[in-house]
Chains A and B, each alone.
Chain A
Amino acid sequence: MKTGVLLILLALLLAACAGGDSGAGDPAEAVERYLQAKIAGDADGVRALLCSAKEADLDMEAGSFAAVEARLEGVDCQREGDTDVVRCQGKIVATYGTEDLDFPLSAYRVVLEGGVWKWCGEAG
């Protein structure tokens, strides 16, 4: 019995690792973590998940929500097949004074750099 459970767990683990980007993590999760870092103004978090092509935008990306209190609501990101696009549902809600501003999430491009999935701007 014990051996059976172990085999099942091993099989699940192998299946998880067979996703094609072994060790790179989930691109959808990378986008969610990026969005979280961005609205929190977490410069280190943004830097770690921003693709090299967008490096020049680091200050803007990290400072974009500095004037507001922002949170993520109903976020659900999914990679579109094997493409480099992650589409997200949900929104960013930013509170400015007494008003809430909604930023509906959209589709984002991701790239694999140094074995890590990184956010690389909005997808066209």
Chain B
Amino acid sequence: MASVRVLLVAGLALILAGHPATAQETPLETTAHRAAVVYAGPGDSYRQLAALRPGNAVQIIERNSIGNWLHVRQEDRNGFVKLDGWVMIGYLNIPAALHLSRLAVNTELADADPSAVNSRSLAALYAAPVISPVSEAMRKVYALGQQLGNHSDVVTKVGDSLTFNPMYLEPMSDPRYELGPYDYLEDALRYFGPSTAGGSAAARMALATYVIFDPMWADKTLCQPGEPPLDCEYRRKRPSVAFILFGPNDARHTTREKYTEQMGKIVTETLNRGIIPVLSTFSVHPDDPYWWQAIELNLGLLDVAAEYDVPLINLWAAARPLPDYGLDRDKVHMKNSGFTYLKFSTGHESWYGTSLRNLLSLKMLDEIYHSIILETNA
């Protein structure tokens, strides 16, 4: 924790000192299309520095690793820095010339500043990176999967109605995609995208961590008698990666201990089949009567990810600055943009929970693709 804090302080000092961008000699300029909060770092737990008013021009200096937060700067005619901080990309008019692959990536600042969060539980949750590193252990898992006959370019999803939602993951199979500035994600999208069509036998409304092992919940048109939904999906698809999200239903009737035990079983089952499990925390609305239980389960999930050394998407933290935490009117399900294909050209990922989740999932696929699949195949 102390080293993270040192890193954060060092990063903040650099920003406040107005360090120059390194990758682009002439930073792109843009404007905000609506009022945006400018933070001291790429996340809403950082100190709020100022408000960026619509129409005000800023220079784009660098980005976070994902690219959904941009470091911007505003100078007056004399070169005096009037504004220097981070905004979510969806609040800016995105220049056509903005290619995130060519923009410098800030590797000094963490995704959050947990030291600024009052609650110990919430600080612990913020401390987990939005996209965790993909460990060396996953290379072995992938290799096992290849021996077992898994398809390296197939990905699937496991979870409840948030995951069953056809607007999650499945739009990656639609060739009309608009990656906008996220050009660096194209390779991963082309590689995995087609496999996301057609849904998953292991994603269904009301599913919870217990139920995924219950054959009664399996789709009888897809699964064999006595076959649990999880086994059924893995047998049918033979994927190399599975995105797994449970919690909103469990939070209503399961303890943290039971939840982590069950998630451990799901992860074990997935690893044993040579499939890389990508776990995900879930967004929760503070008005939800099960708010603290949901926080507990999310914290439990961090423990599971650490124990098994598996990749984790911290969707909870990433969705915090979105309107209604990325959630729909029911305050449980993530909000859809209304587009049935991937559309990151207009900043939807800063407004709609499902768009954000798609972006983060694609980013994780990009990590797996480059760090494991390409290297292994080479």
Contacts and interface: CB of A to CB of B under 8 A. Distances in A.
Given A59-B210, A61-B214, A94-B206, A124 B253 contact: no
Nearest to B204: A101
B340 interface: no
B205 interface: yes
A58 B263 CA distance: 17
B164 to A, nearest CB: 11
A9 interface: no
B213 interface: yes
A61 B224 CA distance: 19
A interface SS class: mixed
Given A66-B253, A67-B252, A107-B225, A121 B208 contact: no
A57 B204 CA distance: 21
Interface string B170-206: 0000000000000000000000000000000000111
A106 B225 contact: yes
B249 interface: yes
B225 A123 contact: yes
Contacts of B253: 63, 66-67
Interface residues of A, number: 24
Interface in A86-108: 92, 94, 96-97, 99, 101, 103-104, 106-107
A121 B216 CA distance: 9
B226 interface: yes
B205 A99 contact: yes
A124 B220 CA distance: 12
B225 A122 contact: yes
A60 interface: yes
Interface residues of B, number: 23
Interface in A60-116: 60-61, 63-64, 66-68, 92, 94, 96-97, 99, 101, 103-104, 106-107
A85 to B, nearest CB: 11
A63 B210 contact: yes
Nearest to A35: B216
A66 B157 CA distance: 22
A99 to B, nearest CB: 7
Contacts of B210: 59-60, 63-64, 66
Contacts of B216: 38, 64, 92, 103, 122
Given A66-B252, A66-B253, A121-B226, 18 more contacts: A60-B210, A60-B213, A63-B208, A63-B253, A63-B254, A64-B210, A66-B208, A66-B210, A67-B249, A67-B252, A68-B206, A97-B330, A99-B205, A101-B206, A106-B225, A107-B225, A122-B225, A124-B225
Interface of A: 38, 57, 59-61, 63-64, 66-68, 92, 94, 96-97, 99, 101, 103-104, 106-107, 121-124
